Amino acid sequence: MKRLIIRKKSRKNFITYGVVVAAFIVLASVVSAGAMPSALQGLLVPMCAYIIAAISLNLTVGVLGELSLGHAGFMSVGAFCGATAAMALNGAGVPDWARMAAAVAVGALLAAVAGVVVGVPVLRLRGDYLAIVTLAFGEIIKTVVTNLYVGKDPAGLRVGFLNPDIGLGKGGMMIVNGPNGISGITKISTLTAGFVIILLCLIIIFNLVDSRSGRAIMALRDNRIAAESVGINATQYKLMAFVISAAMAGAAGALYALSQNTVTANKFDFNTSILILVFVVLGGLGNMLGSIVAATVLYILPETWLRQFSDYRMLIYAVVLILMMLITNNAKIRIWMGKLLPHKKEKEGEAHV
Amino acid sequence: MSDFQFEKGKMVPVPSHSIIPERDLGHVPVLECSHLGVDFGGLRAVDDFNFTIGKTEIAGLIGPNGAGKTTVFNLLTKVYTPTRGTILLNGMDTHGKTTVQINKMGIARTFQNIRLFSNLSVEDNVKIGLHNQKKYSTLEGILRLPSYWKTEKEAHQRAMELLSIFNMEYMANWRAGNLPYGAQRRLEIVRALATNPCLLLLDEPAAGMNPAETAELMENIVKIRDTFQIAVLLIEHDMKLVMGICEGICVLNFGQVIAKGTAEDIRRNPTVIEAYLGKRGAESC
Amino acid sequence: MALFLLYPINITLRRGTRWKRGKRGAGSVRGFAPYAESGGGAPGQPEAKLEVVSLSLVNNLINGVSLGSVYAIIALGYTMVYGIAKMLNFAHGDVIMVGAYICFFICSDFGMSPILGILAAVLVCTLLGVLIEQLAYKPLRQVTSLAVLITAIGVSYFLQNAAQLMWTSNPRIFPAIFGSGGIQLIGDLTIPYKTLVTIGACLVIMAGLILFTGKTRTGKAMRACSEDKDAAQLMGINVNRTISITFAIGSALAAVAGVLLCSAYPKLIPTTGSMPGIKAFTAAVFGGIGSIPGAFLGGILLGVIEIFSSAYLSTELANAIVFLVLIVILLVKPTGLLGKKVSEKV
C-alpha cells in the first residue's frame, strides 16, 4: 500500500532549493575562476530568464491546469517595460543593481497588469478554447509592442502608438523604436540577480502551493464543480494563479532584456511561448525541478553541444524533442525505468492507478 | 428491515403540504422550496416542487431514473438556475446566489459520480473543505507569517477530527484518487461536512456498497445528524436505507412530486408502487 | 523605482496618416505578404471617387473571400484531425509548405503541367501526413493531449528545418500556375482566375467533406470515432485505420491549400506555412472546432476581416484585429460560432 501514499512536499521542495543553490555556487565559482568560455558565459543570464519563465508557466499549466500558448507575451511586456525603466533611470545616479531591481519590479508589475487584462476574459473559457485565446493575446501583445514608440526627453517619457513622431524635445532619446525594438541596452543583469529571482519565484510558488490558496487552485484544477460546491471562488483563485504567473514571466522578460544589447518584439512570439511550454511539459507538469532542468538542458544544448552539427543543429533538436516525448511517454520504458530506480516506483503508482 | 433500528420522530403536517418532525417544529425549517421548477429547452425537468425539511430532519428523495432527483440537488446548489419558484434556506431567500455563496450559506453536497480532488491527498481534500472555515490571506501563506502556522495547525486538527467520523485518519496521506470506492464516497461526505453546513445533500451515498457497508453508512448518517445537529437530504435507490433512516420522504416522477410522507405512507402509496413497478406490477401487488 | 515614477508620461495616441482610408491604391493589400499586390482598381481619380471606393470595396471583398477560402481549406484539415484525434496538430501548417514546394518543383524546375504538380503535391502530402501520424502520434494515443501537442511542435520544427536544409531559405517565387489573367466583370473590376479557382476549390472541398462524413461508411466511422473511440472499437470500427484516413485527408487538403496560398502570395520559404497555419487554426476555433461548416465559415470570415482591416484600418494592426475579433467572438460564444455547447453533467 506504500505506493498510494503521497510523499511530504517539503522534502521535494528542499531538494529543489538545494539543487538550485548548488548549481549557482558551481557556476559562480567557475565564472569567477575565469574557466568558463565567454560564449557560454553570455548564455547564463538568458538561461536564468528562461528558467523563471518555465517555472512561472508551470504554475499556470501544472498547478492551475490551464494551457497557455501566449506566455511569451507577458515576457515581452516585462522586457519592454523593464528595459524602458532601466534606460529612463540611466544617468540619474542610480547604482546598476538598483536599476536592475527597479527594472525587474516594473516589468513584473506591468506584466501582472497585463495578466489581469488578459486573465479576466480568458479564464471564463475552457480547455483548447482558452489555449487559443492566450495565443491570440500573445500575438496582440506582439503587434502592439511592434508599433510602440517610447522616447525620453528632459520633460519626461513620451509614448506614441503607430506613429514614430512622438515630439521628442531637445536632448531627447528614443528608447522603444517600433519594429526595431530597444537597442543600446547596457547589460546590467547578472547571474547573481538571475539566481536570486529564481529562488524568490521558487519560494513564492512552493509556499503558495502548500497553503490555503494553493490548495484552492489545485482543487479547481482537479474538479471545478466540486471546488465551487465547497465554497471556492473559481474566478478569484484562477485569476490569482494566472496573475502571479504573468508577473514572474514579466520579471523573466526584464532580466532577459537587460542581458541583451537589442530586444525586439519578434523575440517574444508564438515560438518562444511554445519553447517555454516544451520546457514545462518535458520537465513534468507541476514539477518545478523538472522545469528547471529541462529549461537548462534545452536552452544550452542547441547553443553548445549541437553547434558541432552546424546546419543540422535545429533538425537534431527537433528529432531529440520528438524522441524525448515518445520515450518518456512509452509505458514499457516507464515500467523499466521504475524497476531501475526503486524510489521512482512510488511516482508511477501515483500517476497510473 | 435490517438489524439497524431507528426510532422515527413523530411527523406533523405544516401549511405548505409538507411534514416535518415534531421536535423541529419550534425552529425555522432549514429548507423550504415552493413551486420550484426548471426547464431545459422545452423539457420541464422539475415542476412545482414543494418540500420542507426540518432543522434536524433526515429526508429522502426517491424516484425512478430520470425523475429529476439530481436536478433538484443542482437547483438547490445553484448549479442550475431555477426557472420558477423560490428556495428559502433558514428563512432566507437564495435568489440570485451562486454555488459558492450557497455553500457559504450552509448547503454542502456530494455527487452521484464521485468528484474528489483526485491528485491531492485525503487530508488536503478535507482541508479544501475547510477553505472558508480556517482562513488566512494568500500573502500570509506565501510569507509564512505566524497566522499561517497557527491556522494550518488548526486545519490539520479539524481535518483529522472529521476523518475520524469514518475512521479514516490513517488514510490522511493517501492520494484521494487511489482510495477504494467506498472510501471515496465517505471522503466526499467528510469534505462536505468540513464546510460546516446546516443542510447536507447526499447523492446516492450507498451506490456500489455492499449490505454491511450500507448498514454502517446508515448508522454514520444518523451519527452525523446527531453530532452536528444538521439536516440531511439524500437521494438513494436502496430502499432499505431510505425506509430505515428517512423521516420524511418525497417521491419524484417525471419532474413532479407524486407522494410525500413518512416511510410507512410511501410504502403503501399506490401511485408510488405504480411509478416503480408499472401499472401491471402495481395490480399484482 | 521612485525616480522612475517621477517621470511624467505623455501619451500621444495620434491617428497616423496610415489610418486614413483610401491612401493606398484601391484593392492593394500588403497585410499578408509582401507580394500581395493583386486586383485592379486605379488609385483615386477625383471625378469617380465614389465609384472607386465602391469598386475597391468589392475588390477587397473578393480578395477577402479568396484568402478566407485558403484559410477554410486549411481549417478543414485542422478541424477534422482535431475532431477525431482531439489534438492540435501544429505540424499541419508545415505540411502546407511541403505541398507548395513539391508543386513548385514539378511546375517550375521540371516545367510540367500544373495539374501534375498539384497531384504530386497531394500525393506526397498524403503520404507525409500518414507517415507523421504513424511514427509520431500513434505511439502517444493513450497519453495526455499536452504530450501530443509538444510532439506535433517537434514535427513542425523538423519539417521546417528539413525544408531549410533541402531547399535552403532563399525565397522562391511561385509560378502563376492558373494564368495571370482574369474574368472582366464591370469596368475595372477583374476577378483573377486564381481567385476563382481558390473559391471554387473551397466550396467543392467543403461540400465533398460534408457528403463524405455524412453518407459514406468511412465517414460515419470517423464521426463515431470522434464521439467515442472505445465504443467505436467495440462496434467493430478499425480506429487506427480511421485515424490514418483522417490524417491522409487533412494532409491532402493541406497540399491543395499550399498550392492555392502560394499562387496568391507567391513568396515561398520554409516558414511559409506557419502563420497561415496558426490563423487557419484560429479560424477553425472561430467557427467551432470539430465542425466542418464551422471551419468553412470561420475561414471565410477570418480572411474577410483580415483583408478589410488591413485595407481600411491599419496594415500593421491587421493580425491584431483578427485575433481581437476571435477573442470577442469566443467571449460571446465560448465554443465558437457553430460549435456544440457541451455542458458537463453534474
What confidence tier does C50 reach under pLDDT thresholds 50, 70, 90? low
Higher pLDDT, A72 or B22: A72
CB neighbours (10 Å) of residue B158? 18
B135 touches chain A (CB under 8 A): yes
Residues of chain B with C-beta less than 8 angstroms from the C-beta of C345: 113
- Closest residue of C to B70, CA-based? C346
Instruction: Note the pLDDT of residue B285.
Output: 54
Here the cell at position B103 is 455553500
Task: Report the distance separating Cα B75 and Cα B203, nearest Å.
Answer: 13
User: What is the rounded distance in angstroms from the CA atom of residue C243 to the CA atom of residue C247?
Assistant: 6
Supply the pLDDT for residue B13.
53
Q: How far apart are alpha carbons C133 and A328 in whole angstroms?
A: 18
Residue C248 — very low, low, confident or very high, per pLDDT cuts 50/70/90? very high
Instruction: Please tell me whether the interface predicted TM-score (ipTM) of this complex is above 0.95.
Output: no
Which burial class, exposed, middle or buried, applies to B65 when counting CB atoms under 10 A from its CB (0-12, 13-18, 19+)? Answer: exposed
Residue B276 in contact with residue B101, Cβ under 8 Å? no
Paired residues of B108 in beta bridges: B200
Q: Which amino acid is at C311?
A: A
Question: What b/e sequence results for A13-30 when a residue is b if at least 16 CB atoms lie within 10 Å of its CB, and e otherwise?
Answer: beebeeebeeebeebeee
Average pLDDT for residues A163-176, to the nearest whole number? 79
Neighbours of chain C (3+ CB pairs under 8 A): A, B
Beta bridge partners of C307: none
Find out whether B34 and B86 touch, Cβ atoms under 8 Å. Answer: yes
Place of cell 475561414: C299
Domain spans in chain A, listed from the N-terminal domain onward: 43-269
Backbone angles phi, psi at B248, to 5 degrees: -115, 140
What is the average pLDDT score of chain A? 87
Which of A219, A228, A350 is opposite residue B175, by nearest beta carbon? A350
Residue A229 is nearest to which of B109, B119, B148, comparing CB atoms? B109
What is the grid cell recorded at C48?
A: 469617380
Positions of E strands within A61-162: 148-153, 156-161
What is the predicted pLDDT for the residue at A219? 96
Three cell numbers, residue C76? 478543414
Flag if C19 and A124 touch (Cβ within 8 Å): no
Which subunits have 3 or more CB–CB pairs within 8 Å of chain B? Answer: A, C
pLDDT tens readout for residues A329-352: 877 777 776 666 544 434 433 333
Q: Comparing C-alpha atoms, which of B66, B145, B171 is closest to residue B112?
A: B66
The pLDDT of residue B188 is: 95
Give the span between the Cα atoms of B165 and B226, in whole angstroms. Answer: 12
Q: How confident is the model at residue C242 (pLDDT cuts 50, 70, 90)?
A: very high
| Strand ranges inside C167-222, DSSP E | 172-173, 182-184, 190-192
Kindly tell me if the per-residue pLDDT of B261 is higher than 60: yes
Look at residue A76 in the predicted model and tell me its pLDDT.
96
Angle between helices C193-215 and C239-264 (to 10 degrees): 170
For residue C10, the model assigns a pLDDT of 47
Compute the Cα dihedral for B165, B187, B21, B27 and give only its sign: positive
Q: What is the pLDDT of residue A346?
A: 41
H or E element in which residue A128 lies = helix A127-146
C4 touches chain A (CB under 8 A): yes
Q: Angle A220-A225-A229 (CA atoms, 0-180°, nearest 5)?
A: 100
Asked if residues B203 and B2 have their Cβ atoms less than 8 Å apart, the reply is: no
Looking at residue A60, its amino acid is T
Query: In this model, does residue C285 exceed pLDDT 80?
Result: yes
CA closest to A107 among chain C residues:
C1
Which tens digit of pLDDT belongs to each residue from B26-49?
A: 788 899 998 999 998 888 899 989
Distance, CA of B32 to CA of B90 (rounded, Å): 8
The neighbours of chain A, by the rule of 3 or more Cβ pairs under 8 Å, are B, C
Contact with chain A for residue B111, Cβ under 8 A: yes
Residue A45 has pLDDT above 50, yes or no: yes
Whole-number pLDDT of residue A170: 75
Bridge partner list, B31: B53, B89
Give the pLDDT score at B273.
83
pLDDT at residue A259 is higher than 70: yes
Largest pairwise CA distance in chain B: 71
Torsion of CA C55, C58, C64, C67, to 10 degrees: -80
What's the CA gap between C276 and C102, in Å, rounded? 18
Q: In what order do the strands lie in the sheet with A148-153?
A: A173-177, A148-153, A156-161, C9-12
pTM (2 decimals)? 0.86
Contact status of A231 with chain B (Cβ, < 8 Å): yes
Cell of C46: 477625383
Using the beta-carbon criterion (under 8 Å), do B128 and A353 form an inter-chain contact?
A: no
How many Å separate Cα C70 from the centre of its chain? 5
Is B132 near chain A, with CB under 8 Å? Answer: yes
Within the 205-234 window of chain C, which residues sit less than 8 Å (CB to CB) from chain B?
none
Are residues B135 and A212, on separate chains, in Cβ contact within 8 Å?
Answer: yes
C-alpha to C-alpha distance for A120 and C331, rounded to whole angstroms: 11
pLDDT for residue B271: 85
CA of A26 vs chain C CAs: smallest distance (Å): 32
**Predicted local confidence at residue C315, as pLDDT:** 85
For residue C146, give the nearest of A67, A92, A125 by CB distance.
A67
pLDDT of residue A343: 47
Contacts of B184 in chain A (CB under 8 A): none
Residue B7, pLDDT above cutoff 60: no
pLDDT score at C313? 86
Contact B73, B87 (CB under 8 A): no
pLDDT band at residue A161 using 50, 70 and 90 as cut-offs: confident
Q: What is the pLDDT of residue A168?
A: 77
Distances C22 to B93, C30, C73, C223, C302 between C-alpha atoms, Å? 60, 14, 31, 47, 22
